[in-house]
Each structure stands twice: as C-alpha cells, then as structure tokens.
Structure 1
Amino acid sequence: MLSTLVYCSLGQGGVLSYPASLSVSPDRSQFFEYESVSLSCEVQGNSTGWRVVRNTSRGILSECNTDWGKQRGSSCTVSLTPSDSGVYWCESGSGEHSNAVNITVHDGAVILESPVLPVTEGDSVTLRCRYQETPSDHTAVFYKDGSLIRAETTGEMTIPAVSKSDEGLYKCTNSEGKSPESWMTVTDAGPSPIPSPAVPVLSMSLPRLLCSLLVGSSYLLVTIILLVKCCRSRTQGETRLPRKTHQDQLGDHVEEE
C-alpha cells in the first residue's frame, strides 16, 4: 500500500511533464526472481547528479549502489529478488524527480508481460503470459480487474487500439500457475492538430508572369495619364471663360429695367 501511494504521488509516467524519465530494460513491469533489469535516467542535457531511487513494498527508501544495485553514471543494474518489488524513480541532487514505475518480482512460474510505462489512446498493446519454463500448453486466460476477458491459445492477447476503458489491473493464468496483477495506464491522445490552410501555388511560368505584370502596369499607367490630362483640360477651360466687368454688369441691369 505504501509503494502504491508513492507511485501515485510521483505520477504514473507520461501524464505529467518531468525533467527526466526512467526507462526500464527489458520493457515490462513484472520479472522472475534472479532476472536482471537495467534502470536508466534519461535527462535532456546533463544527467550528472541524477540517481535511481526506490521505495520497496516493505517501505524501505534507498538509493541504488547502497545495499542494492550497481550504479554507473545515471543508470542502475539490479539482479532481482522478491524483496526488490516496489516503486522506482530518478531523483536529482536538487530534489527534482522523474516519472515512477512499479516493478514486481515474482518467485512463481508465470508472469504477465505488460507495458511498464503508460500507453497512449489508439496504440496497439500486446499482453503476454510469460513462463519460466516451456509449458505443455500455451493457452492463457486473461483477466482485467478480476473479470475474465478471454482465453488465447497463443499465450498472448492484443488490444488493437487501447482506450481509457482498457485502463486497469491485468493478470493471466495457465496450467503452470497465475501471474501477479499489473496496472496498465492509458493516457489521452490529445487534440488533433488543426490543419493549416492550403497555400495557392502559382502555376504560371516566370516569363509569362513578368509579361502579365508589364501589360497590367502599362494599362494602369495609361489610365493615370488620361485622368491627369482630363483634369488639366477641365481646369484650363474654366480659366479661359471671360469675366464680366463692373460696367458690363451695370449695363445688363439697365437693360433688364
């Protein structure tokens, strides 16, 4: 329970943005006893000062290279025993941390191969029932949240496109035994990018384009010249009209009387 609380408080990977990420090789969350696993802190930039930290199912918080694992740079290699089950993450000297992963070490004959990191909606995911020894029958039965999903004669089950409804606790059973449960997290795919409007492409050749511009400019120039001439002619016509003198205006007035 304590390991689960730590796992949830640190985040289940991929949901939040972290300055570093913890990768697991082989990429699965369940392992047999005495298997070896490599844990690496992947940091953008300088990874100096980052170390692998864990909190076991017994509630023991410690760093790699203390009483477990072999630290090399920002990576840690562990030869697993059941007591190594717990939550693992990367931590820097300043207290920054990465995503957390939950690792289960099983001393039985069957484990479930499931993604150790969250999967994205729409991804194809394959769950496999892995056996420590070659079984007489590869048929495996898969369960989610304690409910039967289906049986597969190949020992593996594929979800072509996962959705949020596929998130939950998975396990498998076969004639050799049953695996522990592992939680599979499904994250949102995010909004689809808005396509940018198409940019019209000119199919006209360069010489033809220059010719069209030249003709258009000529028409515009001729139009401007005609407008200027018209305005000048009107102005000159108004200027040449004879103006009546004061005496002419008096004569007109007498004639009217």
Structure 2
Amino acid sequence: MERTCRLLLLLSTLVYCRLGQGGASLSVIPDRSQFFEYESVSLSCEVQGNSTGWRVMRNAERGNLSECSTDWGKQRGSSCNVSLTPSDSGVYWCESGSGEHSNAVNITVHVGAVILESPALPVTEGDSVTLRCRYQVTPSDLTAVFYKDGSFIRAESSGEMTIPAVSKSDEGLYKCSSSKGESPESWMTVTGPTPIPSPAVPVLSMSLPRLLCSLLVGSPTCW
C-alpha cells in the first residue's frame, strides 16, 4: 500500500511539475503580420519561469527549417531581431531544447507598394481592432477598400478600418486595395476572453508541485 501510494505521488509530481513549467508565447514587435522589404521585426520568447534554452525558429516559405542566427536574424537572449527580405516570409515560433513549442505566427514580407497592418497575434473578443492599408509612398488619396475572405467589406477614405468590438465571426482572411495596388492576405485570429478565477476556490500557500514534492520527501507513509 505504501509503495503504491508513493508511486502515485511520484507520477502526480512529475505531471504537475511538467505543467508548472508553463509554456512560452512568441511576441512580435511591431504586432503585425505584413512588412515591407528591409523593415525590422523583433521576435521574443516570453516564458513562464526559466527562459534558458528557448530559441526562435522559422519555417520559411521555401520549406527551410532553421533557428535564429544560423543564416538569418540576430539572437539576443531569447529574442531575435530580423531585418526582413522576401526570403524571410514564413512561420515563426519558439522552441525549447526539450522540444516544447509556443504559438506560431505567420509573417509575410511584401515587395509591392501596399501592405495591410493587421495583428500578428490573436485578438480577444470585445477588443477594438484597427486594420490599416499602409503604403511605401503615401498617396494623395488614402482611400482603401477592405475585404474579408475575398468579399468586399467597405471603403474608407482614411485608409483604415476599425472594428469596435471584435467577435469570433470577425475571424478570417483580410486584405486591402487602393489605387497603389493590393496587399497580401493575412489571417486574423479571435479568441475568447480570459476566464476569471472563482474567488470561492481556496488558494494553497504552497504550489501543488512543491506540496507533492514535500510529501514525497518528508512523508514515510501515506495517509
């Protein structure tokens, strides 16, 4: 009985210690998914706990899988700064030495005259989001036409379109066009609001992994 109980505690500790490490999230500065050639972007691995061993990875459109500082980007700690060229278009994410992954972000480097400034990271339902048609050379007429999933939304003389409170139905592929040309399409992800923890749930003064570890180390038997 004692052996069985200690084995259960050991398994529980391994599971919860693993979960307690937390994952990583990739941040993009500036937060947009489209860039002109030679613009710069900073990609950072934001990790709960120790960020050592996390690196920024990329799968370029050509199918080349590599990490920052191999033949692209400059690694600084858990961040990577990239001066963009068309070959840098692709999917980016954070990865640990043990193979854990963060969220993935798609970045497009456009050689045309127009890009769409839309969030690279997911937006939360209820938030206000502004999409901008951006030009390499600012035209006299800023009017831009916006599309979602290939369908016309509306034209805006300011060159930008605001969604006051996004909902899940706003998720999709967006692009813009103007007299200067058309932007590539970018996917905007909409997530639900972060749940608020119930105040009725008691809070332990010790984390569960530490509690289990202390039980393993300090308890000769199980109760």
Q: What is the aligned partner in structure 2 of residue 135 from structure 1?
A: 139
> Tell me, which stretches of 5 or more residues in structure 2 are unaligned?
1-21, 201-223
**Bigger Cα Rg:** 1
Residue 149, structure 1, aligned to residue 168, structure 2: no
Per the alignment, in what secondary structure is the counterpart of residue 53 of structure 2?
A: coil
Per the alignment, in what secondary structure is the counterpart of residue 169 of structure 2?
A: helix
Which of the numbers 115, 119, 128 marks the counterpart of 1:111? 115
Per-residue CA deviations over 1:62-93 (Å, capped at 9, x if unaligned) read 00000111111111111111111000001111
- For residues 216-235 of structure 1, what are the structure 2 equivalents within 5 Å? none
**Offset at residue 189 of structure 1 (A):** 2.2
Q: What is the aligned partner in structure 1 of residue 40 from structure 2?
A: 36
Q: Distance in 2 between matches of 1:175 and 1:35?
A: 23
Letter of the 1:126 partner, please give it. T
Which of the numbers 76, 80, 83 marks the counterpart of 1:76? 80
Q: Distance in 1 between matches of 2:30 and 2:141?
A: 25
- Determine what percentage of the aligned residue pairs are the same residue: 85
**Offset at residue 129 of structure 1 (A):** 0.4
Aligned residues between the structures: 180
Per the alignment, in what secondary structure is the counterpart of residue 72 of structure 2?
A: coil
Letter of the 2:163 partner, please give it. I
Residue 22, structure 1, aligned to residue 21, structure 2: no
Q: What is the aligned partner in structure 1 of residue 170 from structure 2?
A: 166
Per the alignment, in what secondary structure is the counterpart of residue 45 of structure 1?
A: coil
Q: Distance in 2 between matches of 1:194 and 1:109?
A: 50
Distance 1:44 1:82, change over 3 A: same
Per the alignment, in what secondary structure is the counterpart of residue 193 of structure 2?
A: coil
Which of the numbers 177, 180, 183 marks the counterpart of 1:176? 180
**Offset at residue 44 of structure 1 (A):** 1.8
Letter of the 1:152 partner, please give it. E
**Offset at residue 123 of structure 1 (A):** 0.8
- Kindly indicate which of the two structures has a greater share of residues assigned to strand: 2
**Offset at residue 111 of structure 1 (A):** 0.4
> Tell me, which stretches of 5 or more residues in structure 1 are unaligned?
1-17, 197-257
**Offset at residue 192 of structure 1 (A):** 7.0
Q: What is the aligned partner in structure 2 of residue 123 from structure 1?
A: 127
**Offset at residue 27 of structure 1 (A):** 1.1
**Offset at residue 24 of structure 1 (A):** 0.7
Q: Distance in 2 between matches of 1:138 and 1:89?
A: 34
**Offset at residue 23 of structure 1 (A):** 0.6
Q: Distance in 1 between matches of 2:199 and 2:153?
A: 39
Per the alignment, in what secondary structure is the counterpart of residue 165 of structure 1?
A: helix
Normalised to the residue count of structure 2, the TM-score between the two structures is 0.77
Distance 1:165 1:80, change over 3 A: same
**Offset at residue 171 of structure 1 (A):** 0.1
Q: Distance in 2 between matches of 1:164 and 1:101?
A: 19
- Kindly indicate which of the two structures has a greater share of residues assigned to helix: 1
**Offset at residue 191 of structure 1 (A):** 5.7
Q: What is the aligned partner in structure 2 of residue 61 from structure 1?
A: 65
Q: What is the aligned partner in structure 2 of residue 215 from structure 1?
A: none
Normalised to the residue count of structure 1, the TM-score between the two structures is 0.67
Query: Structure 1 runs of 4+ off > 4 angstroms?
Result: 190-196
**Offset at residue 29 of structure 1 (A):** 0.4
Per-residue CA deviations over 1:5-50 (Å, capped at 9, x if unaligned) read xxxxxxxxxxxxx611111111100000011111111112221111
Q: Distance in 2 between matches of 1:193 and 1:19?
A: 19
Which of the numbers 93, 98, 101 marks the counterpart of 1:89? 93
